[in-house]
Structure 1
Amino acid sequence: MSERDSGSSDRARAGSRGKASGQASFGAFVRKPVERPDDKAKASVANAASEAAEMRAETAASWPADAIEVGAIVDAYGLKGWVKVAAHADAGQGGDALLSAKRWWLLKGQERRSAPSLHAKTHGDSVVASLGGITDRDAALAWRGCRVYISRSEFPALGADEFYWVDLIGLDVVNLAGLNLGKVAGMIDNSVQSVLRVEYPATDKSGKPVAGERLIPFVGVYVKTVDQAAKQIVVDWEADY
Structure 2
Amino acid sequence: MQTLLHTAASRGHASHGWLTSYHTFSFAGYQNPERVHFGVLRVLNDDTVAGGMGFGTHPHDNMEIISIPLSGTLEHKDSAGNHGIIQSGDVQVMSAGTGIAHSEKNHSQREEVKFLQIWVFPNKRNVTPRYDQQTFRAEDRHNRFQQVLSPNPDDAGVWIHQDAWFHLADFDAGFTAEYQVKKPGNGVYVFVLEGDATVGGQALHRRDGFGIWDAESFTVQADSATRLLLMEVPMTL
TM-score by length of 1: 0.22
Higher strand share: 2
Using structure 2 for the length normalisation, give the TM-score. 0.23
Structure number having the greater helix percentage: 1
Larger radius of gyration: 1
